[in-house]
Chains A and B, each alone.
Chain A
Amino acid sequence: DVKVTQSSRYLVKRTGEKVFLECVQDMDHENMFWYRQDPGLGLRLIYFSYDVKMKEKGDIPEGYSVSREKKERFSLILESASTNQTSMYLCASRAPTGFTEAFFGQGTRLTVV
C-alpha cells in the first residue's frame, strides 16, 4: 500500500517559533509538493520539488522554506511562525509522467497562537 506520511496530525506552536513539518513517501517519487488548505481558498501550492535538492516556489512561498536532502523526504519550514500561517498543511508526491496520480499525506493541522 502506497504511503505518504506526515509527521504530525495536529500541532500547536507559538508566534515566532521555527516550525518543521516533515513528509515521507515510500513510492520513490521524484516530485513532492506542499500545499496549505484554507476555507474558501482551496489548496494553494507553497513549494514543490522535482528532485533531490531541487525546489521551486509555488504560489504562496512567503514565510516558508523547504528542504529535500533525500528523495523520500520533503520538509516544510516556517522560519518564524505567525498566526496567519494557521492552516491545514498537505504534502503530496507523484511520479512526473502523464496521468500518474498524486498521493497525499493525511495532513497536519497547525495552529499558531
Chain B
Amino acid sequence: RKEVEQDPGPFNVPEGATVAFNCTYSNSASQSFFWYRQDCRKEPKLLMSVYSSGNEDGRFTAQLNRASQYISLLIRDSKLSDSATYLCVVISGGSNYKLTFGKGTLLTVNP
C-alpha cells in the first residue's frame, strides 16, 4: 500500500457544485495533515491544515478520520478560480520531518 493515496480524478464540475476529495494514508503514526493547491506550472501552496476536530475556511472544509486513516476536502459553491490540482500531504510519525504528497487530483470547474 502506498504511503499516501488520492482520488485519481480528474474532476469536472459546474460552477456552484460541491465536490469532495479523499486521501488515505498508510502510516497510523502520522501526525500532521495538509491540503495544498497547485496551479498549472506553479509551485504548490498551502490551502489548509487538517485538524483532528475538522476545520473550515470559508467554502472549504477539511476532515480527518484517524480510525480509517483518511482525510477529506470538501469545496462548496465551486468557483472557476478553484480549478487547480489539490494535493494531500502527510507528515510521517516519528520523525516529524518527512512530507509525503499524494499524486494530486485535478479539478476543473466549468462555467
> Which residues of A approach B to under 8 Å, CB–CB?
31, 33, 35, 40-43, 45, 48, 50, 56, 58, 90, 92, 94, 96-99, 101-102, 104-107
Contacts and interface: CB of A to CB of B under 8 A. Distances in A.
13 contacts: A31-B97, A40-B103, A41-B103, A42-B103, A42-B104, A45-B98, A45-B100, A90-B44, A96-B96, A98-B32, A101-B34, A102-B99, A107-B43
Contacts, number: 53
A94 B100 CA distance: 13
Contacts of A105: 43
B99 A45 contact: yes
B49 interface: yes
Interface of B: 31-32, 34, 42-46, 49, 51, 87, 89, 95-104
A42 B87 CA distance: 9
B32 A99 contact: yes
A6 to B, nearest CB: 9
Given A99-B32, A104-B44, A106-B43, A42 B98 contact: no
A48 B103 CA distance: 19
Contacts of B51: 99
Contacts of B87: 42-43
B43 A102 contact: no
A102 B89 CA distance: 10
A107 B40 CA distance: 12
B53 to A, nearest CB: 13
Residue from the set B44, B51, B96 with the largest chain A CB neighbour count within 10 Å: B44
Contact of B44 (A31, A43, A45, A50): A43
